Homo-oligomer: A and B are copies of this chain.
Amino acid sequence: MENLMNSLSAKATIQNRSALAVDKPQVIRVAFFISDGTAITAETLGRSILSQFASVPFETRVIPYVDTIEMAQAAVEHINKAYQTTGILPLVFDTIVDPDIREIINSAQACNLDMYEGLIGRITDEIGVEPDAHSGHAHDDVDSETYKSRIDAVHFALDNDDGARTRHYDMADIILIGVSRSGKTPTSLYLALQFGIRAANYPLTEDDLFDNQLPKALQPHREKLFGLIIDTERLQKIRQERRAGSRYASFKQCEEEQRAIQAIYMTQNIPSLNVSEMSVEEIATRILQITGLKRRIG
Protein backbone atom coordinates (compact mmCIF):
# COMPACT_ATOMS: atom_id res chain seq x y z
CA MET A 1 0.00 0.00 0.00
CA GLU A 2 2.72 2.39 1.12
CA ASN A 3 4.78 1.54 -1.94
CA LEU A 4 1.93 1.98 -4.34
CA MET A 5 1.31 5.41 -2.93
CA ASN A 6 4.94 6.34 -3.21
CA SER A 7 4.92 5.26 -6.81
CA LEU A 8 1.93 7.43 -7.49
CA SER A 9 3.63 10.39 -5.95
CA ALA A 10 6.35 11.11 -3.48
CA LYS A 11 4.53 14.24 -2.44
CA ALA A 12 1.20 12.65 -1.59
CA THR A 13 -0.26 14.27 1.47
CA ILE A 14 -1.56 11.54 3.68
CA GLN A 15 -3.84 13.39 5.98
CA ASN A 16 -5.27 10.33 7.64
CA ARG A 17 -3.74 6.93 7.25
CA SER A 18 -6.86 5.10 8.36
CA ALA A 19 -8.56 6.34 5.21
CA LEU A 20 -6.13 4.22 3.24
CA ALA A 21 -6.84 1.00 5.03
CA VAL A 22 -8.83 -0.46 2.17
CA ASP A 23 -8.12 -3.50 0.05
CA LYS A 24 -8.04 -2.06 -3.43
CA PRO A 25 -5.37 0.39 -4.57
CA GLN A 26 -6.58 3.92 -3.98
CA VAL A 27 -6.22 6.67 -6.52
CA ILE A 28 -5.19 9.95 -4.99
CA ARG A 29 -6.76 13.14 -6.25
CA VAL A 30 -4.36 15.91 -7.22
CA ALA A 31 -4.84 19.47 -5.96
CA PHE A 32 -3.04 22.31 -7.74
CA PHE A 33 -2.21 25.73 -6.27
CA ILE A 34 -1.67 28.13 -9.14
CA SER A 35 -0.90 31.84 -9.25
CA ASP A 36 0.70 34.57 -11.32
CA GLY A 37 2.93 35.33 -8.31
CA THR A 38 4.56 33.17 -5.65
CA ALA A 39 1.34 31.13 -5.20
CA ILE A 40 1.76 31.45 -1.44
CA THR A 41 -1.73 32.90 -1.07
CA ALA A 42 -3.34 30.19 -3.21
CA GLU A 43 -1.43 27.52 -1.33
CA THR A 44 -2.20 28.90 2.14
CA LEU A 45 -5.93 29.12 1.57
CA GLY A 46 -6.02 25.92 -0.48
CA ARG A 47 -4.28 23.83 2.19
CA SER A 48 -6.48 25.32 4.85
CA ILE A 49 -9.57 24.27 2.90
CA LEU A 50 -8.21 20.79 2.14
CA SER A 51 -7.58 20.32 5.86
CA GLN A 52 -11.35 20.46 6.30
CA PHE A 53 -11.44 17.11 4.48
CA ALA A 54 -9.00 15.31 6.75
CA SER A 55 -10.15 11.82 5.74
CA VAL A 56 -9.33 12.41 2.07
CA PRO A 57 -5.74 12.08 0.86
CA PHE A 58 -4.61 14.63 -1.72
CA GLU A 59 -1.45 15.00 -3.70
CA THR A 60 -0.58 18.68 -3.91
CA ARG A 61 1.37 20.55 -6.57
CA VAL A 62 2.29 24.23 -6.60
CA ILE A 63 2.72 26.14 -9.88
CA PRO A 64 3.92 29.72 -9.28
CA TYR A 65 4.46 32.54 -11.80
CA VAL A 66 1.83 31.58 -14.34
CA ASP A 67 1.96 35.04 -15.88
CA THR A 68 2.12 34.37 -19.63
CA ILE A 69 -0.08 32.54 -22.11
CA GLU A 70 2.67 29.96 -22.54
CA MET A 71 2.96 29.32 -18.80
CA ALA A 72 -0.80 28.97 -18.59
CA GLN A 73 -0.84 26.44 -21.42
CA ALA A 74 1.93 24.47 -19.74
CA ALA A 75 -0.05 24.49 -16.47
CA VAL A 76 -3.13 23.21 -18.30
CA GLU A 77 -1.07 20.35 -19.72
CA HIS A 78 0.04 19.43 -16.18
CA ILE A 79 -3.54 19.50 -14.94
CA ASN A 80 -4.89 17.44 -17.84
CA LYS A 81 -2.12 14.91 -17.40
CA ALA A 82 -3.04 14.56 -13.71
CA TYR A 83 -6.62 13.90 -14.78
CA GLN A 84 -5.57 11.31 -17.34
CA THR A 85 -3.31 9.54 -14.83
CA THR A 86 -5.78 9.41 -11.96
CA GLY A 87 -9.10 9.36 -13.80
CA ILE A 88 -10.55 11.83 -11.29
CA LEU A 89 -10.82 15.58 -11.73
CA PRO A 90 -8.00 17.50 -10.06
CA LEU A 91 -8.89 20.46 -7.83
CA VAL A 92 -7.36 23.72 -9.07
CA PHE A 93 -7.07 26.54 -6.52
CA ASP A 94 -5.96 29.68 -8.27
CA THR A 95 -5.48 33.39 -7.72
CA ILE A 96 -4.95 34.75 -11.20
CA VAL A 97 -5.78 38.34 -12.05
CA ASP A 98 -5.36 38.51 -15.84
CA PRO A 99 -8.64 37.44 -17.49
CA ASP A 100 -6.96 35.88 -20.56
CA ILE A 101 -4.67 33.73 -18.43
CA ARG A 102 -7.53 32.83 -16.10
CA GLU A 103 -9.60 31.69 -19.07
CA ILE A 104 -6.88 29.31 -20.20
CA ILE A 105 -6.53 27.82 -16.71
CA ASN A 106 -10.30 27.43 -16.50
CA SER A 107 -10.25 25.39 -19.72
CA ALA A 108 -8.36 22.55 -18.02
CA GLN A 109 -10.11 19.29 -17.14
CA ALA A 110 -10.50 20.12 -13.48
CA CYS A 111 -12.74 21.34 -10.69
CA ASN A 112 -11.78 25.01 -10.85
CA LEU A 113 -11.75 26.92 -7.56
CA ASP A 114 -11.04 30.53 -8.35
CA MET A 115 -10.32 32.31 -5.09
CA TYR A 116 -10.52 35.88 -6.33
CA GLU A 117 -13.44 35.76 -8.72
CA GLY A 118 -16.46 36.09 -6.44
CA LEU A 119 -14.78 38.19 -3.75
CA ILE A 120 -13.33 40.83 -6.07
CA GLY A 121 -16.70 41.23 -7.79
CA ARG A 122 -18.47 41.77 -4.48
CA ILE A 123 -15.89 44.30 -3.30
CA THR A 124 -16.19 46.20 -6.59
CA ASP A 125 -19.96 46.38 -6.11
CA GLU A 126 -19.55 47.60 -2.53
CA ILE A 127 -16.82 50.21 -2.96
CA GLY A 128 -17.61 51.29 -6.52
CA VAL A 129 -14.00 50.97 -7.71
CA GLU A 130 -12.75 48.58 -10.37
CA PRO A 131 -9.71 46.46 -9.48
CA ASP A 132 -6.35 47.27 -11.06
CA ALA A 133 -5.20 45.01 -13.85
CA HIS A 134 -1.78 44.37 -12.31
CA SER A 135 -0.92 40.96 -10.98
CA GLY A 136 -0.40 40.12 -7.36
CA HIS A 137 1.43 42.30 -4.89
CA ALA A 138 4.81 40.67 -4.94
CA HIS A 139 6.65 43.97 -5.12
CA ASP A 140 4.75 45.61 -2.30
CA ASP A 141 7.42 45.63 0.30
CA VAL A 142 10.44 46.43 -1.83
CA ASP A 143 12.09 49.81 -1.24
CA SER A 144 9.61 50.50 1.51
CA GLU A 145 9.71 50.89 5.26
CA THR A 146 8.13 47.46 5.42
CA TYR A 147 11.13 45.85 3.77
CA LYS A 148 13.53 47.64 6.07
CA SER A 149 11.55 46.85 9.24
CA ARG A 150 11.41 43.23 8.31
CA ILE A 151 15.08 42.80 7.49
CA ASP A 152 16.11 44.78 10.56
CA ALA A 153 13.89 42.58 12.72
CA VAL A 154 15.40 39.41 11.24
CA HIS A 155 18.91 40.62 11.93
CA PHE A 156 17.88 41.69 15.42
CA ALA A 157 16.46 38.22 16.12
CA LEU A 158 19.66 36.60 14.87
CA ASP A 159 22.00 38.87 16.80
CA ASN A 160 20.00 38.41 19.97
CA ASP A 161 19.26 34.71 19.67
CA ASP A 162 19.77 32.32 22.57
CA GLY A 163 21.09 34.96 24.94
CA ALA A 164 24.08 35.53 22.65
CA ARG A 165 24.00 39.24 23.29
CA THR A 166 22.02 41.12 25.88
CA ARG A 167 23.24 44.70 25.59
CA HIS A 168 20.65 45.68 22.97
CA TYR A 169 17.62 44.54 24.94
CA ASP A 170 16.51 48.15 25.24
CA MET A 171 15.78 47.98 21.50
CA ALA A 172 13.81 44.74 21.73
CA ASP A 173 10.04 44.71 21.37
CA ILE A 174 9.86 41.46 23.30
CA ILE A 175 12.25 39.01 24.96
CA LEU A 176 11.17 35.38 24.86
CA ILE A 177 12.37 33.19 27.69
CA GLY A 178 12.05 29.47 28.28
CA VAL A 179 14.02 26.29 28.82
CA SER A 180 16.26 24.90 26.11
CA ARG A 181 14.21 23.59 23.14
CA SER A 182 10.93 25.21 24.05
CA GLY A 183 10.59 26.93 20.66
CA LYS A 184 12.07 30.37 21.38
CA THR A 185 14.24 30.67 18.28
CA PRO A 186 11.69 29.76 15.56
CA THR A 187 9.14 31.96 17.29
CA SER A 188 11.54 34.93 17.39
CA LEU A 189 12.29 34.52 13.71
CA TYR A 190 8.66 34.14 12.76
CA LEU A 191 7.75 37.29 14.72
CA ALA A 192 10.48 39.09 12.77
CA LEU A 193 9.65 37.79 9.30
CA GLN A 194 5.88 37.93 9.59
CA PHE A 195 5.29 40.96 11.80
CA GLY A 196 8.58 42.91 11.76
CA ILE A 197 8.77 42.57 15.54
CA ARG A 198 12.18 42.71 17.21
CA ALA A 199 12.27 39.60 19.35
CA ALA A 200 15.26 38.61 21.42
CA ASN A 201 15.34 35.29 23.19
CA TYR A 202 17.14 34.06 26.28
CA PRO A 203 17.36 30.47 27.52
CA LEU A 204 16.93 29.89 31.23
CA THR A 205 19.51 27.26 32.09
CA GLU A 206 19.81 25.18 35.21
CA ASP A 207 21.85 27.83 36.98
CA ASP A 208 19.16 30.41 36.39
CA LEU A 209 16.27 28.09 37.12
CA PHE A 210 17.28 27.00 40.57
CA ASP A 211 18.58 30.38 41.63
CA ASN A 212 15.06 31.64 42.30
CA GLN A 213 15.63 34.99 40.66
CA LEU A 214 15.81 36.37 37.16
CA PRO A 215 19.23 36.46 35.49
CA LYS A 216 20.84 39.91 35.85
CA ALA A 217 20.65 40.60 32.11
CA LEU A 218 16.88 40.23 32.20
CA GLN A 219 16.09 42.17 35.34
CA PRO A 220 16.00 45.67 33.80
CA HIS A 221 13.67 44.44 31.03
CA ARG A 222 11.05 42.64 33.03
CA GLU A 223 8.17 44.28 31.21
CA LYS A 224 9.39 42.85 27.89
CA LEU A 225 9.66 39.25 29.07
CA PHE A 226 7.36 36.55 27.77
CA GLY A 227 7.66 32.95 28.93
CA LEU A 228 7.18 29.81 26.87
CA ILE A 229 5.98 26.64 28.57
CA ILE A 230 6.18 23.18 27.05
CA ASP A 231 4.77 19.91 28.40
CA THR A 232 7.37 17.64 29.91
CA GLU A 233 6.54 14.72 27.58
CA ARG A 234 6.92 16.87 24.50
CA LEU A 235 10.09 18.57 25.74
CA GLN A 236 11.63 15.21 26.48
CA LYS A 237 10.78 13.91 23.03
CA ILE A 238 12.37 16.93 21.34
CA ARG A 239 15.49 16.74 23.48
CA GLN A 240 15.71 12.98 23.00
CA GLU A 241 15.94 13.51 19.25
CA ARG A 242 18.78 15.90 19.92
CA ARG A 243 20.80 14.05 22.55
CA ALA A 244 19.34 10.62 23.10
CA GLY A 245 19.96 9.11 26.51
CA SER A 246 21.54 12.22 28.01
CA ARG A 247 20.67 13.69 31.39
CA TYR A 248 19.51 16.79 29.45
CA ALA A 249 16.89 14.61 27.74
CA SER A 250 15.79 12.67 30.82
CA PHE A 251 12.20 12.93 31.97
CA LYS A 252 13.30 13.94 35.46
CA GLN A 253 15.44 16.81 34.19
CA CYS A 254 12.76 18.07 31.81
CA GLU A 255 10.15 17.91 34.55
CA GLU A 256 12.27 19.75 37.09
CA GLU A 257 13.13 22.50 34.61
CA GLN A 258 9.47 22.92 33.69
CA ARG A 259 8.40 23.18 37.32
CA ALA A 260 11.13 25.65 38.15
CA ILE A 261 10.44 27.89 35.19
CA GLN A 262 6.73 28.01 35.82
CA ALA A 263 7.45 29.02 39.40
CA ILE A 264 9.60 31.88 38.09
CA TYR A 265 6.88 33.02 35.68
CA MET A 266 4.40 33.04 38.53
CA THR A 267 6.49 34.71 41.21
CA GLN A 268 7.92 37.27 38.80
CA ASN A 269 4.55 37.91 37.21
CA ILE A 270 5.72 37.13 33.66
CA PRO A 271 3.02 36.40 31.08
CA SER A 272 3.41 32.94 29.61
CA LEU A 273 1.94 30.47 27.17
CA ASN A 274 1.91 26.69 26.91
CA VAL A 275 3.07 26.11 23.34
CA SER A 276 3.08 22.29 23.35
CA GLU A 277 0.18 21.91 20.93
CA MET A 278 0.95 24.91 18.75
CA SER A 279 2.56 25.59 15.41
CA VAL A 280 5.05 28.45 15.17
CA GLU A 281 2.40 30.61 13.49
CA GLU A 282 0.00 30.01 16.32
CA ILE A 283 2.55 30.75 19.06
CA ALA A 284 3.43 34.07 17.40
CA THR A 285 -0.19 35.09 16.90
CA ARG A 286 -1.15 34.18 20.47
CA ILE A 287 1.78 36.19 21.82
CA LEU A 288 0.57 39.29 19.96
CA GLN A 289 -2.90 38.71 21.34
CA ILE A 290 -1.76 38.23 24.94
CA THR A 291 0.78 41.04 25.08
CA GLY A 292 -1.03 43.53 22.86
CA LEU A 293 2.27 44.02 21.02
CA LYS A 294 1.71 45.86 17.76
CA ARG A 295 3.05 44.43 14.54
CA ARG A 296 5.47 46.69 12.66
CA ILE A 297 4.49 45.42 9.24
CA GLY A 298 1.22 44.27 7.68
Contacts and interface: CB of A to CB of B under 8 A. Distances in A.
B65 A289 contact: yes
A151 B182 CA distance: 11
A43 B298 contact: yes
Nearest to A141: B279
B129 A119 contact: no
A262 to B, nearest CB: 20
Contacts of A140: 51, 279
A4 interface: no
Given A40-B285, A138-B281, A123 B111 contact: yes
A219 to B, nearest CB: 27
Specify how many copies of this chain sit in the oligomer: 2
Given A129-B56, A131-B52, A131-B53, A119 B115 contact: yes
A158 B139 contact: no
A150 B41 contact: no
A115 to B, nearest CB: 6
A276 B141 CA distance: 11
Given A127-B56, A151-B186, A189-B193, A282 B137 contact: no
Interface of A: 11, 29, 37-41, 43-45, 47-49, 51-56, 60, 62, 64-65, 89, 91, 93, 95, 97, 111, 113, 115-116, 118-120, 122-123, 126-127, 129, 131-132, 134, 136-143, 147-148, 150-151, 154-155, 158, 161, 183, 185-186, 189-190, 193-194, 234, 241, 276-282, 284-286, 289, 294, 298
